[in-house]
């Protein structure tokens, strides 16, 4: 698999990707961890000179990200990062193009661009900093906030249902669907590397703690006491085991997942659902995306699905090459003289 | 062939013809074929397609009527003609909708077969106008076009429905006979168009020839007409619409600047054709993106501009509204993009297929914050070519968005174009910053433009964005004095463009009683009206803007030489507002917002009204 290729010795260090700008997030924000893991892994991920790296963002706390990376960058307008990035990538497919975005930016005002970027399989990497709250506008609920959430704009609790970002991505034919969390740096690094190697659009949902407006939203998944029972780490080709001492597993009966105990002799690892990232159908990935709709189930993290197919930018380049091959390089004089012409003497 | 009576041939200097029928009758195609042939044999011409927004409204209804007017001549002309000399009406609804436009004593060719009870009722006729005397005063030619077409195609292996669809070619053949035009151009076109359906080639060609023959044989027509070729300057010509000319202009700018063309666009009438045309030119390295929405169209272009492409987005009024915030981003990031607005009737969805000039204030002022951009406007279909190149030149030199306005009339209308040679068109200089030494993203050159340092350039990694930037360094800055400074720099940069554009030209004397001032697509009508008024002895001249923001440097001087100023616009006075506020002078307005070009007679009348009788002669 393209994803498991050993990376050649990096010539950059984290420092090479650190800009001279002061980082202005709130102390304790999960964004710091994401920035640190990106800077740490980039020397490994980026197989091109760093002048070929472009970070694009929209609006929100997460969207300040490009200012802190010493690469080319555009801090765009609200919701438009994926499509600005699309323009960059099409203009120069040699570039490594990354998007930093939040749950409001990507799924509310930018929802349309998100699903269409997935559908087109444009070769950009999208990092969704999902903190389930609006931070920069100071604490309104977001399209990923749980129903009933009390915020400044929902004093009696929100009445709308949230998006499940992975389900949305899968429905939009996204070719690399993954989830990780800010407080699991190692896992975050692994997923970043996998995404970086994916030829096509890569989508990473990163559960990110907003310690000011939604503190602890994902602590269940990161704190020592609870994480083992609450997190299911997906690994391709491996049975789905979780829980303290790996005592539990997920068994799939038809389309219905169940939790089984694999310590009491009734079930063993052989009975468990084996994760297949490359399944033709998105159905199983979809079940996984909705696994923790039932609060008794753990939250899966890892790569849910990966599909290899022609990217949008490659398709555009291919057509240009094919048509040029067939018609020859465009000749301006001939083009102007095209159509039905006549002479006046 | 049986012997027919020689028909009288009458010489005309110019003729205006209107084809009208159901939107499914192929009237646009018929009109365009007539135009192409007419251009090809050397007449000057100007066209006005006029069609409804519905693609195929129910047959026979008034709201389904589609029209195509063209004006052709042996003399220099600038408009599609005020009132048709000839109306071809394919059904009662087409007659009803268009008759009032026909010249007194004008010639009327109707498809007699279509005047049945059902169609008369659909067109709200109580009695048959072909029989009740209501057409007295017109020269009426009743031709059973449907049945004659059916006769001509008898025995062909095509359905009656398909036979009926060939009747526009019969009408076209008849008109070719009437105006002495060869069939060849259209015959060739039919061969190409239907190359996959040999039976349709046969059917349409037969219908075309049958129409032509009918003219020759019938007693209905006693006279045919000749319009000699116009005396156009020497050169190679083609007939071209505004949208096509604009597309070629953008391609030319791409070749001349050495930058690949990127177009991000969402289909919208009447601009979609530009996206369609440009998507064909992949061997010029053109990259077109049919985006998911208007905003995606422009923001993808901003990404491509950042990456060093000639970046363009095309739209009409509603789309320009959606792109507003993104234009602000391009203003702040100082990236070159061309925003093309093919104006249509508004507000909201308005009149999608009609023309209007009502986006001017939106273009010049319609953004949050102090967000100046250059605004240009083409004045004729072929001028779309040259102004597209200008838009690119200015955008690239001044690192700014340029809004380029055309309109539905220019976009769809066509005229003969004397094709320039590629080598005679000037190069557009572009320099990307590559030196690392002393680089800052918001350094300024002598024009106040900032450097264009594109991704892939080693050592120039930098970040730009919508937040206010510190002068020179480009770091995010909330400093009050810096903001004031940057607001002024951005304004001055756009103002500086005035040093780089041609003076405002006056057509006619440079001083006098009245200066007619126009902009954009009304040029043809205004110059024709002013020329007529001058011939009638009025001291009137015309100044027509193609550069609106900034105005040409000599504008104030030009305006100051006239006692009165008249600004006709297809809006409620948008240029008038700008002129008043910029130059603190009184102006008179003429505004008619019917979704159609002005008529020469309307402008002429307004001129004579203002100058009054002999006053001013």
Q: Judge whether B452 lies within some domain.
A: no
pLDDT single digits (tens) B82-130: 999 999 999 999 999 999 999 999 999 999 999 999 999 999 999 999 9
Q: Is the peptide bond before B12 cis (omega within 30 degrees of 0)?
A: no
In whole angstroms, how far apart are CA B496 and each of B90, B400, B448, B449, B545? Answer: 55, 12, 8, 10, 18
Of B292, B328, B455, nearest to A72 by CB-CB distance is B455
Q: Is the peptide bond before B270 cis (omega within 30 degrees of 0)?
A: yes
What does the pLDDT read at residue A9? 42
Beta bridge partners of B67: B20, B50
The count of structural domains within chain B is 3
What does the pLDDT read at residue B211? 97
Orientation of helix B198-217 relative to helix B145-152, angle to 10°: 120
Question: Cα separation of B529 and B533, whole Å?
Answer: 6
Q: Which residues 42-71 of chain A have a CB within 8 Å of chain B?
A: 49-57, 59, 66-67, 69-71
**Mutate which of B228, B263, B307, B435 to test chain A, going by most A C-beta atoms within 10 A?**
B307
Q: Judge whether B277 lies within some domain.
A: yes
Domain limits at B339? 239-424
Q: Judge whether B434 lies within some domain.
A: no
Orientation of helix B167-178 relative to helix B198-217, angle to 10°: 40
Q: Judge whether B511 lies within some domain.
A: yes
ipTM score assigned to the predicted complex: 0.96
- The CATH number of residue A129's host domain is 3.40.50.970
CB contact under 8 A, B300 and A87: yes
Q: What is the mean pLDDT of residues B65-85?
A: 95
- The CATH number of residue B219's host domain is 3.40.920.10
Domain limits at A116? 2-222
Nearest CA in chain B to A341: B238
Identify the domain boundary among B393, B424, B455.
B424
Are B264 and A84 contacting, i.e. CB atoms less than 8 angstroms apart?
A: no
* Total CB pairs under 8 A between chain A and B: 212
Write the CB contacts of B531 (distance below 8 Å, at least 6 apart in sequence).
Answer: none
CB contact under 8 A, A87 and B422: no
Name chain A contacts of B260, Cβ cutoff 8 Å: 91
B176 with B289, same domain? no
Q: Would you say residue A311 has pLDDT above 90? A: yes
Q: Would you say residue B542 has pLDDT above 50? A: yes
Question: Cα separation of A291 and A269, whole Å?
Answer: 19
What does the pLDDT read at residue B424? 97
Q: Judge whether B55 lies within some domain.
A: yes
Q: Judge whether A276 lies within some domain.
A: no
Q: Judge whether A296 lies within some domain.
A: no
The count of structural domains within chain A is 1
B468 and A CB contact within 8 Å: no
Are A101 and A165 contacting, i.e. CB atoms less than 8 angstroms apart?
A: no
What does the pLDDT read at residue B5? 65
Question: Cα separation of B42 and B228, whole Å?
Answer: 8
Q: Judge whether B97 lies within some domain.
A: yes
Q: Nearest C-alpha of chain B: how many angstroms from A40?
A: 19
B124 and A CB contact within 8 Å: no
Q: Which residues 262-321 of chain A have a CB within 8 Å of chain B?
A: 316, 319-320
CB count within 10 Å of CB B197 equals: 13
What does the pLDDT read at residue B53? 83
Q: Would you say residue B219 has pLDDT above 90? A: no
Q: What is the mean pLDDT of residues A287-291?
A: 98
B253 with B214, same domain? no
Q: Would you say residue B4 has pLDDT above 90? A: no
What does the pLDDT read at residue B220? 85
B217 with B355, same domain? no
B414 and A CB contact within 8 Å: no
Name chain B contacts of A73, Cβ cutoff 8 Å: 462-465
B202 with B289, same domain? no
Q: Would you say residue A18 has pLDDT above 80? A: yes
Identify the domain boundary among B389, B409, B424.
B424
- The CATH number of residue B519's host domain is 3.40.50.920
Are B320 and B362 contacting, i.e. CB atoms less than 8 angstroms apart?
A: yes
Q: Would you say residue B355 has pLDDT above 70? A: yes
pLDDT band at B1 (very low <50, low <70, confident <90, very high): very low
Nearest CA in chain A to B424: A333
Q: Judge whether A230 lies within some domain.
A: no
Mean pLDDT, all residues of chain B: 96
pLDDT band at A6 (very low <50, low <70, confident <90, very high): very low
Q: What is the mean pLDDT of residues B70-79?
A: 95
CA torsion sign for B429, B435, B436, B439 is negative
What does the pLDDT read at residue A320? 98
Of B185, B284, B296, nearest to A330 by CB-CB distance is B284
**Global pTM?**
0.95
B268 with B406, same domain? yes
Q: Judge whether A227 lies within some domain.
A: no
B439 and A CB contact within 8 Å: no
Name chain A contacts of B229, Cβ cutoff 8 Å: 344
CB contact under 8 A, A67 and B476: yes
Are B414 and B240 contacting, i.e. CB atoms less than 8 angstroms apart?
A: yes
pLDDT-above-90 percentage for chain A: 96
Q: Which residues 32-71 of chain B have a CB within 8 Å of chain A?
A: 36, 39-42
Nearest CA in chain B to A55: B463
- The CATH number of residue B357's host domain is 3.40.50.970
Question: Cα separation of A73 and A95, whole Å?
Answer: 12
Q: Would you say residue A297 has pLDDT above 80? A: yes
CB contact under 8 A, A94 and B307: no
- Chain centroid offset of residue B88 CA: 24
Q: Judge whether B446 lies within some domain.
A: no
Q: Judge whether A309 lies within some domain.
A: no
pLDDT single digits (tens) B543-581: 999 999 999 999 999 999 999 999 999 999 999 999 999
Question: Cα separation of B528 and B521, whole Å?
Answer: 13
B233 and A CB contact within 8 Å: yes
Name chain B contacts of A95, Cβ cutoff 8 Å: 307, 455-456
B119 with B208, same domain? yes
Q: Would you say residue B26 has pLDDT above 50? A: yes
CB contact under 8 A, A75 and B466: yes
CB contact under 8 A, B463 and A84: no
pLDDT band at B614 (very low <50, low <70, confident <90, very high): low
Q: Judge whether A170 lies within some domain.
A: yes
A333 and B CB contact within 8 Å: yes
B100 with B34, same domain? yes
Helix (H, G, I), strand (E, B) or coil at B273: helix
B222 with B287, same domain? no
Q: Judge whether A216 lies within some domain.
A: yes
Of A53, A66, A87, nearest to B301 by CB-CB distance is A87
A87 and B CB contact within 8 Å: yes
Q: Of A217-231, A315-329, B54-68, B494-508, where does mean pLDDT reach its minimum? A: B54-68
Q: Would you say residue A4 has pLDDT above 80? A: no
Q: Judge whether B465 lies within some domain.
A: no
B451 and A CB contact within 8 Å: no
B87 with B218, same domain? yes
DSSP, res A151: B
pLDDT band at B57 (very low <50, low <70, confident <90, very high): confident
CB contact under 8 A, A341 and B302: no
What does the pLDDT read at residue B613? 64
Q: Would you say residue A2 has pLDDT above 50? A: no
Of A91, A329, A332, nearest to B422 by CB-CB distance is A332
In whole angstroms, how far apart are CA B412 and each of A65, A87, B243, B409? Answer: 46, 29, 7, 6
Q: Which residue has the tokens 């951009």?
A: B373
Write the CB contacts of B475 (distance below 8 Å, at least 6 apart in sequence).
Answer: A21, B469
Q: Judge whether A203 lies within some domain.
A: yes
Q: Nearest C-alpha of chain A: how many angstroms from B597?
A: 27
B309 and A CB contact within 8 Å: yes
What does the pLDDT read at residue A267? 97
Are B338 and B313 contacting, i.e. CB atoms less than 8 angstroms apart?
A: yes
Identify the domain boundary among B227, B255, B290.
B227
Q: Nearest C-alpha of chain B: how many angstroms from A39?
A: 15
Q: What is the mean pLDDT of residues B233-261?
A: 97
B141 with B107, same domain? yes
Helices (H), B67-197: 92-98, 117-122, 145-152, 160-164, 167-178, 184-193
Of A49, A83, A324, nearest to B300 by CB-CB distance is A83
Name chain B contacts of A320, Cβ cutoff 8 Å: 282-283, 285-287
Q: Is the peptide bond before B347 cis (omega within 30 degrees of 0)?
A: yes
B395 with B528, same domain? no
Are A335 and B278 contacting, i.e. CB atoms less than 8 angstroms apart?
A: no
pLDDT band at B206 (very low <50, low <70, confident <90, very high): very high
B13 with B140, same domain? yes
Orientation of helix B184-193 relative to helix B167-178, angle to 10°: 160
Name chain A contacts of B293, Cβ cutoff 8 Å: 112
């Amino acid at each position: 698999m393209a994803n498991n290729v050993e990376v050649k010795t990096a010539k950059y260090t984290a420092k090479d990707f650190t800009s001279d700008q002061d980082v202005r997030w709130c102390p304790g924000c999960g964004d710091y961890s994401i920035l640190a893991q990106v800077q740490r892994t980039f020397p490994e991920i980026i197989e091109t000179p760093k002048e070929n790296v472009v970070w694009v963002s929209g609006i929100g706390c997460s969207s300040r990200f490009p200012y802190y990376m010493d690469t080319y960058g555009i801090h765009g307008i609200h919701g438009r990062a994926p499509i600005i990035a699309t323009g960059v990538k099409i203009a120069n497919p040699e570039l490594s193009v990354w998007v930093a975005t939040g749950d409001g930016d990507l799924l509310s005002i930018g929802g349309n661009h998100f699903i269409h970027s997935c559908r087109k399989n444009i070769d950009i990497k999208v990092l969704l900093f999902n903190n389930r709250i609006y931070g920069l506008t100071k604490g309104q609920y977001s399209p990923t906030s749980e129903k009933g959430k009390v915020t400044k704009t929902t004093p009696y609790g929100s009445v709308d249902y949230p998006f499940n970002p992975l389900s949305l991505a899968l429905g939009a034919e996204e070719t690399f669907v993954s989830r990780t969390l800010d407080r699991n740096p190692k896992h975050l690094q692994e997923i970043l590397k996998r995404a970086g190697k994916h030829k096509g659009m890569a989508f990473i949902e990163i559960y990110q703690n907003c310690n000011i407006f939604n503190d602890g939203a994902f602590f269940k998944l990161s704190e020592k006491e609870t994480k083992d029972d609450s997190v299911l780490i997906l690994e391709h080709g491996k049975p789905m085991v979780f829980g303290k001492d790996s005592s539990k597993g997920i068994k799939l009966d038809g389309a219905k997942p169940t939790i089984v105990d694999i310590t009491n002799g009734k079930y063993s690892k052989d009975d468990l659902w084996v994760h297949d990232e490359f399944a033709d159908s998105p159905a199983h990935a979809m079940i996984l995306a909705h696994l923790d709709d039932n609060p008794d189930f753990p939250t899966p993290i890892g790569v849910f699905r990966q599909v290899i197919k022609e990217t949008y930018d490659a398709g555009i380049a291919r057509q240009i090459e094919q048509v040029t091959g067939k018609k020859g390089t465009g000749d301006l004089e001939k083009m102007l003289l095209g159509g039905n012409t006549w002479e006046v003497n | 062939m049986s012997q027919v009576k020689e028909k009288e041939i009458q010489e005309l200097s110019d003729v205006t013809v209107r084809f009208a029928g159901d939107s499914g009758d192929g009237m646009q195609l018929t009109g365009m074929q007539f135009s192409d042939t007419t251009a090809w044999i050397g007449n000057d011409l100007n066209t006005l397609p006029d069609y409804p927004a519905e693609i195929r409204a129910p047959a026979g209804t008034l709201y389904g009527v589609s029209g195509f007017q063209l004006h052709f001549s042996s003399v220099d002309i600038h408009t599609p003609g005020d009132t048709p000399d000839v109306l071809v009406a394919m059904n009662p609804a087409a007659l009803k909708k268009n008759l009032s436009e026909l010249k007194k004593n004008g010639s009327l060719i109707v498809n007699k077969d279509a005047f049945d009870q059902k169609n008369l009722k659909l067109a709200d006729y109580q009695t048959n106008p072909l029989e009740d005397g209501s057409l007295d005063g017109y020269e009426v030619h009743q031709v059973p076009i449907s049945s004659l077409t059916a006769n001509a195609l008898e025995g062909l292996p095509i359905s009656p429905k398909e036979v009926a669809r060939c009747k526009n070619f019969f009408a076209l053949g008849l008109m070719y006979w009437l105006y002495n035009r060869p069939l060849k151009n259209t015959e060739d076109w039919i061969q190409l168009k239907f190359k996959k359906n040999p039976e349709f080639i046969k059917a349409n060609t037969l219908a075309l020839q049958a129409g032509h023959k009918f003219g020759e044989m019938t007693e209905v027509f006693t006279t045919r007409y000749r319009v000699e070729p116009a005396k156009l300057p020497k050169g190679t010509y083609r007939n071209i619409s505004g949208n096509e000319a604009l597309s070629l202009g953008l391609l030319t700018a791409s070749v001349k600047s050495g930058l690949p063309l990127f177009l991000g666009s969402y289909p919208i009438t009447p601009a979609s054709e530009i996206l369609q045309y440009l998507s064909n030119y992949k061997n010029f390295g053109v990259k077109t993106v049919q985006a998911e929405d208007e905003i995606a169209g422009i923001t993808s272009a901003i990404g491509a501009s950042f990456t060093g492409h000639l970046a363009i987005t095309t739209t009409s009024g509603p789309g320009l509204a959606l792109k507003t915030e993104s234009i602000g981003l391009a203003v702040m990031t100082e990236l070159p993009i061309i925003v093309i607005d093919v104006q249509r009737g508004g507000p909201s969805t308005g009149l999608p297929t009609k023309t209007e000039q009502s986006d001017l204030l939106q273009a010049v002022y319609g953004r949050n914050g102090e967000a100046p951009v250059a605004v240009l406007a083409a004045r004729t279909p072929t001028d779309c070519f040259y102004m597209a190149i200008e838009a690119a030149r200015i955008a690239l030199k001044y690192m700014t968005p340029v809004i380029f306005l055309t309109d539905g009339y220019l976009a769809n209308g066509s005229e003969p174009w004397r094709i320039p040679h590629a080598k005679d068109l000037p190069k557009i200089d572009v320099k990307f910053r590559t030196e690392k030494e002393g680089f800052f993203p918001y350094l300024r050159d002598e024009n106040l433009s900032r450097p264009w340092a594109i991704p892939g350039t080693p050592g120039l990694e930098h970040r730009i964005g919508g937040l206010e930037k510190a002068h020179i360094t480009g770091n995010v800055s909330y400093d009050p004095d810096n903001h004031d400074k940057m607001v002024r720099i951005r304004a001055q940069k756009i103002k500086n463009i005035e040093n780089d554009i041609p003076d405002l030209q006056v057509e006619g004397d440079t001083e006098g009683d009245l200066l007619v001032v126009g902009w954009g697509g009304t040029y043809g009508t205004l110059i024709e009206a002013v020329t007529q008024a001058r011939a009638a002895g009025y001291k009137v001249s015309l100044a027509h803007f193609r550069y609106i923001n900034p105005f040409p440097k000599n504008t104030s001087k030009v305006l100051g030489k006239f006692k009165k100023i008249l600004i006709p616009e297809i809006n409620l006075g948008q240029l008038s507002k700008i002129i008043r506020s910029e130059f603190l002078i009184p102006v008179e307005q003429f505004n008619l917002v019917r979704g159609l070009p002005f008529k020469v007679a309307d402008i002429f009348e307004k001129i004579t009204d203002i100058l009054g009788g002999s006053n001013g002669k």
